[in-house]
């Protein structure tokens, strides 16, 4: 697939770097000057994003203009999968009379669209327009109210098929999801007692036969920000996997630092909160053994980090 330079580069706030540029790797690596990574960066392909957050306001639908709340009208993004680009012109023409966001996700069996808006209700005109959208849009939700649904959206982790609830977390591409899962599985090794914290729908949980914990997903329901696993609970596990949101896992890291867990696999989408949590773990006697940057958010300034910590004896 030929990936063309984005016509909205330096206009749209989504991408900072031209992923078609020969200097893209060097430019992107400049975002990690203070990180001493142990392995070369892993580079993902462009044009593979299966989900994106769009904005709408007063008839405009698209992405925010760089460093503003103005909206650039978007009907095609070269970093998105074809299935999303095919429906964007139809979605952009909906009667967007108020403001909000639209999360569009390519699932295994079609496209899912979830709207968040300060306006609690949609108009009859909007409902009629949604009902006329292409059939590959299998679910359309407004503030938790289902406007239309042909079937339950599904996602798949290897051979595990799952229902995809509105607002559920997914890695942005299937490619990087698989890369991270393979790294986690390999690093877990033969461990029998594994905890998967902030497990989401189970990208790592099923593959490692772990016990999952999260507020939202297929694991044990537990808010790890307000109620992290205690040191005593953590000591029941040989390996702990953590893949928290951008806010990191400060409270859980404090408990881990006091634990006897042999290995911590930490996947982070925010180098800043990662470094904060890393310092906590290191003060508790853990030493980082592996740190690999993954270019999961192609074109943006953001990096995913895969790391392994082991307890110093």
Q: 243 Cβ partners below 8 Å, 6+ apart?
A: 196, 197, 198, 199, 200, 203, 204, 266, 267, 268
Angle, vertex CA 105, rays to CA 162 and CA 100, nearest 5:
125
Mean pLDDT of 184-207: 97
Q: What pLDDT score was predicted for residue 176?
A: 96
Catalytic residue among 77, 107, 199, 269, which? 269
Run of H or E residues at 278: helix 271-283
Q: pLDDT > 70: what percent of the chain?
A: 99
Give residue 208's pLDDT band: very low, low, confident or very high (50, 70, 90): very high
| Rg of the Cα atoms in the chain | 21
pLDDT of residue 1: 56
| Residue with the two structure tokens 């996700």 | 105
Q: What are phi and psi of 69, to 5 degrees?
A: -105, 10
- Whole-number pLDDT of residue 222: 95
Residue 98 bears catalytic tag: no
Q: What is the pLDDT of residue 5?
A: 87
Q: What is the average per-residue pLDDT within 148-161?
A: 96
Say yes or no to pLDDT of 24 above 80.
yes
Q: Which pLDDT value is given to residue 288?
A: 96
Predicted confidence at residue 4, as pLDDT, reads 79
Question: Could you read off the pLDDT of 161-171 as tens digits, one per residue?
Answer: 999 999 899 99
Provide the percentage of residues in the chain whose pLDDT is more than 90. Answer: 89
- pLDDT recorded at residue 313: 66
Q: Return the ∠ at Cα 125 (arms to 121 and 126), rounded to 5°.
A: 55
pLDDT at 2 over 70: no
Q: Name the 3-class secondary structure at 177.
A: helix
pLDDT at res. 101: 97
């Amino acid at each position: 697939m030929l990936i063309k330079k984005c016509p909205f580069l330096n206009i749209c706030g989504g991408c900072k770097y031209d992923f078609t540029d020969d200097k893209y790797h060097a430019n992107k690596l400049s975002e990690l000057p203070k990180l001493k990574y142990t392995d070369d960066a892993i580079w993902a392909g462009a044009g593979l994003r299966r989900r994106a957050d769009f904005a709408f306001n007063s008839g405009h639908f698209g992405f925010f203009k760089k460093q503003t709340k103005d909206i650039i009208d978007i009907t095609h993004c070269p970093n998105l999968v074809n299935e999303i680009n095919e429906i964007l012109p139809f979605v952009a023409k909906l009667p967007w009379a108020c403001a909000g966001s639209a999360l569009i996700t390519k699932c295994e069996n079609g496209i899912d669209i979830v709207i968040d808006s300060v306006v609690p209700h949609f108009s009859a005109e909007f409902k009629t327009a949604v009902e006329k959208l292409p059939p590959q849009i299998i679910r359309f939700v407004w503030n938790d109210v289902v406007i239309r649904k042909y079937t339950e959206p599904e996602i798949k982790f290897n051979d595990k098929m799952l229902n995809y609830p509105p607002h559920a977390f997914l890695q942005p591409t299937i490619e990087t999801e698989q890369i991270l899962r393979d790294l986690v599985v390999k690093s877990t090794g033969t461990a029998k007692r594994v905890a998967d914290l902030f497990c989401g729908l189970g990208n790592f949980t099923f593959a490692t036969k772990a016990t999952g914990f999260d507020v939202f997903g297929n694991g044990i329901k537990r808010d790890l920000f307000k109620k992290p696993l205690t040191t005593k609970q953590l000591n029941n596990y040989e390996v702990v996997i953590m893949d928290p949101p951008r806010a990191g896992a400060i409270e859980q890291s404090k408990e881990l630092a006091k634990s006897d867990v042999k290995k911590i696999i930490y996947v982070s989408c925010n180098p800043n909160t990662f470094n904060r949590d890393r310092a906590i773990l290191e003060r508790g006697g853990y030493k980082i053994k592996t740190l690999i940057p993954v270019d999961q958010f192609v074109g943006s300034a953001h990096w995913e980090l895969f790391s392994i910590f082991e307890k110093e004896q």
